[in-house]
Amino acid sequence: MYIYELPFDIHNELCRLLDSYDYWEELAGNHMQYSAMDVIEIKQTAKRLGISPTSQLFLKWGQQNHKVEELFMLLYHMKYVPAMRCLSSAVRSKFLGLLNKLETSKSGKNKSSSNDKVNNQITQKADSSRNSIPLPVMLLENQGVVPTSSHGRNGNTPSFQSSTDDSYTSGGVNEGNDEIMKNVLAIPKMSYEELKIATDNWSEANLLGRGGFGQVFKGVWKHLPVAVKRLKDNDGENKELLREMCLNQYRHDNILPLYGYSYGGPEMCLVYQLMAGGTLEQRLRGKTKHPPLSWSQRYRVAHGVARGLQFLHTMEGTPLIHGDIKPANILLDQCLMPKIGDFGLARKGPYGEDRTHLKVSRVYGTRPYLPLEYLHSKCLSPAVDVFSYGVVMFEMATALLVFDKTRPSPVQSLSAYIHEMHREGADFATLEDPVIRGTPNSNPQLCRDFASIAVHCTKYARHERPTMLEVYKQLDAMELPGKCLTYM
């Protein structure tokens, strides 16, 4: 039986299994011997057509008259038992001995079954930076080289070429190369010395803040005000650098744009637009010279962040989960337009409409902003960002601390406090941010509306939380004085 003759139900189940965590990429690259550029082409074609990438792989491979039993053998070499089982009815009985061999191996002294191995590999894939970013971004892991396109049908090992080669830097990218590759290569590379001069030798006077990934300095580069993030990790596998470069392809009004990067100096650096309005955290805590945020300004921030998150969560193909939504990662420009920054923990979400979440081996993020299903069960889904957003909404309404030891122990976290107050039937307007409560800028009803959204976004069960698209639509439908003037 040829690949293109596979029964519809078997074909669909194989696609479901191999689409999970992009397992089809290992099949294509390591076992079918497709080049890196071939894999990118398959992925992009599937995205454009709105079909499973595994289905597109089978279509391409099947055009060379490959048979189902050849696929069975490749799955055997992958030790992917569930997919082999799926194909068992489509191969001759003599091939089933290979499946039995893998299945019975779990009865030996080594208790780790082949299924366990596959599951461990999938978990590692879900948690690794290689699964969290598109393939072309790995050029940095190869010391600035990128894969060139292979013109063979398959079986060719991709060659590598310096990213500073004229054929790439002057725009001579091979026709048909992936759009992501073009976007990544278009990011300006800056020298470390340039950035050192731009920040006045990393002057303390220019220090904007510190975080888990390093320090952020303001500076002037080519007469342009910039923020330079100097990263701690410099081992060539810096997840922050790779993910931020990847995300530069997702241009959106509410995502912080990356101006350039520095690679190869004492520290890796990322260069961003300087956000004159500071962070939402600074504005809520009164850490800047700016006046307190008005309700119309808070609405604008909430609306913009919801808009940015729904864009990430509803991208065609696989959603992107930020993983660390909090006021410190929401930056404001001079017009108070919010932009989501710090994508160092961003990861790809579950692929396909029937996939609600994926299991990860490690939990990252800021604990008071994370839901229990992620903290305890390590279930990652877009609902994690929804929960974090709900906590931020309540912070914007009340300016309460996200974790406060002075509150009774069951409700020291803000999310628990929200639901305790909700159960008691409290009027959330009484918790309005003290800096605007009782002033002409006060808006008790909007405070209640923000709190209502926060309650729904922080529901214990993730399936009870709204999607970010639903939140965005709810905010968009709100009526408030001067809404059009403050948002447009």
Judge whether 31 and 78 are in contact, CB under 8 Å.
Answer: yes
Per-residue tokens: 306 = 């919801």
Closest C-alpha among 140, 270, 257, 285 to residue 215: 270
CA distance 231 to 269: 6
Per-residue tokens: 381 = 């889904």
Phi, psi of 446 (to 5 degrees): -65, -35
Taken in order 70, 76, 77, 79, the sign of the CA dihedral is: positive
38 residue type, one letter: D
Tell me the sheet residues that pair with 229.
216, 270
Q: Where are the beta strands (DSSP E) in 124-223?
A: 145-147, 160-162, 207-211, 214-221
Write out the DSSP string of 280-300.
HHHHHTT-SSSPPPPHHHHHH
Give the C-alpha distances (Å, rounded to integers) separating 163 from 169, 172, 231, 369.
Answer: 7, 12, 22, 39
CA distance 79 to 60: 23
Q: What's the chain's Rg over C-alpha atoms?
A: 25
H or E stretch including 71? helix 68-78
CA distance 95 to 72: 8
Judge whether 394 and 450 are in contact, CB under 8 Å.
Answer: yes
Cβ-Cβ contacts under 8 Å for 284 (sequence gap 6 or more): 293, 327, 395, 396, 399, 433
Per-residue tokens: 8 = 């519809």
Per-residue tokens: 231 = 């990263």
The yes-or-no answer on residue 324 being catalytic is: yes
Q: Is 8 helix (H, G, I), strand (E, B) or coil?
A: helix
Identified catalytic residue from 178, 324, 342, 449: 324
Q: What angle do CA 147, 153, 158 make, to 5 degrees?
A: 20
CA distance 458 to 95: 50
Q: What angle do CA 159, 161, 166 make, to 5 degrees?
A: 140
293 residue type, one letter: L
Judge whether 161 and 145 are in contact, CB under 8 Å.
Answer: yes
User: 396-430: b or e for each residue (b if 16 or more CB lie within 10 Å)?
Assistant: bbbbbbbbeeebeeeebbbbbbbeebeeeeeebbe
Tell me the sheet residues that pair with 260.
271
Q: Which residues are catalytic?
A: 324
